[in-house]
Amino acid sequence: METSQDASKKVARFEAVILPHLDAAYNMARWMTRNSGDADDVAQEAMLRAFRFFDSFRGENGRVWLMTIVRNTCLTWIRRQMPQQNSAEYDERLHTDLEASLTPESEFLRQATSEQVRRAIEQLPPEFREVILMRELEQLSYKEIAAVTQSPLGTVMSRISRARAMLRQFIAGQRRREVKQQ
């Protein structure tokens, strides 16, 4: 008797505290997998995992708690997809490009089309894409991002800085290419 009451209480609480963040969960899964079919699977897996581990939820920020689980599920998916990709190498190449580049015109950036922005975000390596999602799309604070990624604030700060530099570069690059073609 008591266990069934506990179970329905757990479901009700989960529906009240965690389920409202399903959009945030799906959004992250969609951007990290870059396609809707896998996003569906990853989001569902993450939500069910969250439900299974719900007893360990101590009433802190429900969105941050859920995002942590979604992020881990995404990373597992990514690792399964491309085990051969070496992101450190990727990093270095981008880094040198960025150092050499000039600051793009503000007007130029402000007028970026949604297609250009989308493509630029999708191009970002996962560890930079996720901080852009959390910061610009989910509006999480640095502290919250640090909690989700389980990394120190300093790391979050430099990741955001690097991610934006790459993003700016990708958008500027696309616009420049398109202007040339016209």
Residue 6 carries which side chain, given as an amino acid letter? D
Residue 1 interacting with another protein (CB under 8 A): yes
The torsion angles phi and psi of 124, rounded to 5 degrees, stand at: -65, 140
Closer to another protein by Cβ: residue 28 or 78: 28
In a 13 Å sphere around the CA of 167, the CA atoms on its Cβ side amount to 22
Which of 79, 85, 158, 176 binds another protein (CB under 8 A)? It is 158
Residues 30 and 36 sit within 8 Å (Cβ to Cβ)? yes
Structure tokens at 143: 């502290």
Closer to another protein by Cβ: residue 64 or 160: 160
Q: Radius of gyration over alpha carbons of the chain, in Å? A: 19
Residue 60 interacting with another protein (CB under 8 A): no
Residues making contact with another protein (CB under 8 A): 1, 3-4, 7-8, 10-11, 14-15, 19, 22-23, 25-27, 30-31, 36, 39-40, 43-44, 47-48, 51, 103-107, 109-112, 114, 117-118, 121, 135-137, 141-142, 154, 157-158, 160-161, 164-165, 167-168, 171
